[in-house]
Structure 1
Amino acid sequence: MSAKTIKKWVFWTHLIAGLIAGIFVLCMSFTGVLLTYERQIVEFSERLYDVEVSTKGDSASQTKPTDRTRISTDEVVSILQTLKPNEPHIYVRWVNREGAAIPAWAGRHSFLLHPYTGEVLREGQDVVGEFFHVVTDFHRYLSLAGDYRVIGKNITAYANLMFIFLIVSGLYLWLPKRFNLRAFKQQTLLLKTYQNSHHRNRQWHFVFGIWCLIPLFVIALTATIFHFDWANKAIYGAFGESVPAREQHEGITSLAADIVPYETLFKAAQQHASANEYEDWYSMWMEIGEHKHEARFFIDKSIGHRQELAYSLFFDTQTAEVTQVLRKQDWSLGGQAWGTARFLHTGEYFGVIGQTVAGLVSLLACVLVYTGIVLAWRRLVSEPKRLRQYD
Structure 2
Amino acid sequence: MNFSTFKRWVFWAHLFAGLLASIVVFIMAFTGVLLTYERQFKELSEMAYAQTIDIEKSVISTERVVSILREKHPNEAHIFVRWVNSEGAAIPAWAGEHSYLIHPYTGDILREGEGVVEEAFHVITDLHRYLLMEGDYQLIGKTITAYSNLIFIFLLLSGVIIWLPKHISKKSLKQQMWLRQKYTNKQHRRRHWHFVFGMWSLPFLVVIGLTATLFYFEWANNALYGMYGEQVPTREKKAMPESLDADVVSYDTLFTKAQQHANENGYQDWYSMWMEIGKSEGVARFYIDKSIGHRQELAYSLYFDTGTGDITRTLYKTDWPKGSQAWGTSRFLHTGEYFGFIGQTIAGLVSLLCCILVYTGTLLGVQRLLNLRKQH
- What does residue 60 of structure 1 align with? none
- What does residue 372 of structure 2 align with? 384
Paired residue for 1:278, among 262, 267, 285? 267
Counterpart residue identity of residue 333, structure 2: L
1:263 and 1:17 map into 2 onto residues whose CA distance is 58
- What does residue 194 of structure 1 align with? 183
Deviates more, 1:234-243 or 1:77-86: 77-86
Q: Within the alignment, does 1:164 sit opposite 2:153 as a pair?
A: yes
Unpaired segments ≥5 residues, structure 2: none
Superimposed CA distance per residue, residues 152-207 of structure 1 (whole angstroms, 9 cap, x where no aligned partner)? 11111111111111111111111111111111111100011111110010011000
Indicate conservation of the 8 Å contact 1:304/1:351, yes or no: no
Q: Within the alignment, does 1:126 sit opposite 2:126 as a pair?
A: no
1:304 and 1:166 map into 2 onto residues whose CA distance is 33
Q: Within the alignment, does 1:81 sit opposite 2:70 as a pair?
A: yes
Counterpart residue identity of residue 30, structure 1: F
Counterpart residue identity of residue 181, structure 1: K
SS of 1:87's equivalent in the other structure is coil
1:295 and 1:131 map into 2 onto residues whose CA distance is 32
Corresponding residue pairs, total: 376
SS of 2:302's equivalent in the other structure is strand
Counterpart residue identity of residue 5, structure 1: T
Paired residue for 1:333, among 301, 322, 327? 322
- What does residue 36 of structure 1 align with? 36
2:8 and 2:297 map into 1 onto residues whose CA distance is 46
Give the TM-score of the pair, scaled to structure 1. Answer: 0.95
Paired residue for 1:144, among 133, 138, 145? 133
Superimposed CA distance per residue, residues 111-148 of structure 1 (whole angstroms, 9 cap, x where no aligned partner)? 00000111000001111111001001111111100000
SS of 2:234's equivalent in the other structure is coil
SS of 1:335's equivalent in the other structure is helix
Indicate conservation of the 8 Å contact 1:208/1:364, yes or no: yes
- What does residue 26 of structure 2 align with? 26
Paired residue for 1:303, among 283, 292, 296? 292
Q: Within the alignment, does 1:100 sit opposite 2:86 as a pair?
A: no
Paired residue for 2:345, among 348, 351, 356? 356
1:268 and 1:304 map into 2 onto residues whose CA distance is 22
2:6 and 2:164 map into 1 onto residues whose CA distance is 13
1:124 and 1:216 map into 2 onto residues whose CA distance is 35
- What does residue 17 of structure 2 align with? 17
- What does residue 59 of structure 1 align with? none
2:15 and 2:374 map into 1 onto residues whose CA distance is 20
- What does residue 45 of structure 2 align with? 45
Counterpart residue identity of residue 143, structure 2: N
- What does residue 2 of structure 2 align with? 2
**Deviation, structure 1 residue 304:** 3.0
SS of 2:60's equivalent in the other structure is coil
**Deviation, structure 1 residue 54:** 2.8
SS of 2:281's equivalent in the other structure is coil
Paired residue for 1:324, among 313, 322, 341? 313
**Deviation, structure 1 residue 385:** 4.8
- What does residue 71 of structure 1 align with? 60
**Deviation, structure 1 residue 98:** 0.5
- What does residue 174 of structure 1 align with? 163
2:301 and 2:334 map into 1 onto residues whose CA distance is 22
After the TM superposition, list the runs of 4 or more consecutive aligned residues in structure 1 that deviate by more than 2 angstroms: 384-388
SS of 1:36's equivalent in the other structure is coil
- What does residue 347 of structure 1 align with? 336
1:304 and 1:157 map into 2 onto residues whose CA distance is 26
**Deviation, structure 1 residue 87:** 1.5
Give the TM-score of the pair, scaled to structure 2. Answer: 0.98
- What does residue 257 of structure 1 align with? 246
Superimposed CA distance per residue, residues 297-338 of structure 1 (whole angstroms, 9 cap, x where no aligned partner)? 110000132111101111111111111111011011111111
Superimposed CA distance per residue, residues 252-310 of structure 1 (whole angstroms, 9 cap, x where no aligned partner)? 21112211111111111100000000000000011111111111111000013211110
What is the RMSD computed on CA atoms of the aligned residues?
1.0
1:305 and 1:226 map into 2 onto residues whose CA distance is 16
1:305 and 1:184 map into 2 onto residues whose CA distance is 38
- What does residue 207 of structure 1 align with? 196
1:177 and 1:153 map into 2 onto residues whose CA distance is 40
Question: Percent identity of the aligned residues?
Answer: 62
Counterpart residue identity of residue 358, structure 1: A
1:36 and 1:269 map into 2 onto residues whose CA distance is 32
**Deviation, structure 1 residue 386:** 4.4
**Deviation, structure 1 residue 16:** 0.9
1:385 and 1:307 map into 2 onto residues whose CA distance is 54
**Deviation, structure 1 residue 249:** 1.8
SS of 1:320's equivalent in the other structure is coil
Q: Within the alignment, does 1:224 sit opposite 2:213 as a pair?
A: yes
